Each structure stands twice: as C-alpha cells, then as structure tokens.
Amino acid sequence: MSDLQKPPSTDCEHMLARVHEFLDHELDTASSDEIRAHLAACEPCLDQFDVEQAVRSLVNRCCGGDKAPSALRTKVLGQLAAAQATAHAQQA
C-alpha cells in the first residue's frame, strides 16, 4: 500500500484537524514534527495556522494564559468580523 500518491487535500484536512492539539502541545513529538513539516511545505495550511495562532495569542492575553474556550474563540472571531463590517460600512 502506497501513501505517496494520496491527494494533498486529504493531507491538509488531516493537518488542520490537529492544529488545535498542536497549539495546545497535546501531540507527541512525531505528530508535531509531521505538522511542522506540512506547514513548512503547504502555504494554505500555514495561512490557516497563522489565523489560529493569532486568535490563540489574543485569547491568551485576555485570559492570562488559559486555554481558549471555544465559545470565547467564536466570540473573538465574531467581533473581528463585526469590526471589519463596520469599517467597510463607514467607508461607503
């Protein structure tokens, strides 16, 4: 059985599904290396990872280093989107 020809999108889904665990340092060394190697080679995943990391550091600043509850994360993302929408409306 060869894994060499599997489509990249399958790989990306697999990686992105684990990005949160990676950021929380919940993965073993081998899995972390796998994700790091993929991010180094895959620009769309690296973009996605940057967004996750930005949200994470924002939440960490607000909550003193606790893990981000998903409700808070959703709220932060929602406020970012609302702020962007307001900025666009004011420019018009």
> Where does this chain touch Zn ion (CB under 5 A) — which range of 7-15, 20-28, 52-60, 71-79?
7-15
Tokens of 66: 């606790």
Count CB-CB contacts under 10 A for residue 49.
20
Residue 58 in contact with Zn ion, rule: CB under 5 A: no
The distance between the two most distant Cα atoms of the chain, rounded to a whole number of Å, is 57
Residues 51/80, Cβ–Cβ less than 8 Å: no
> Where does this chain touch Zn ion (CB under 5 A) — which range of 19-27, 39-47, 58-66, 84-92?
39-47
Residue 39 in contact with Zn ion, rule: CB under 5 A: no
Which residue among 19, 23, 35, 45 contacts Zn ion (CB under 5 A)?
45
Residue 12 in contact with Zn ion, rule: CB under 5 A: yes
Q: Which of 31, 5, 37 is nearest to 18 (CA)?
A: 31
Contacting residues toward Zn ion, per CB under 5 A: 12, 42, 45
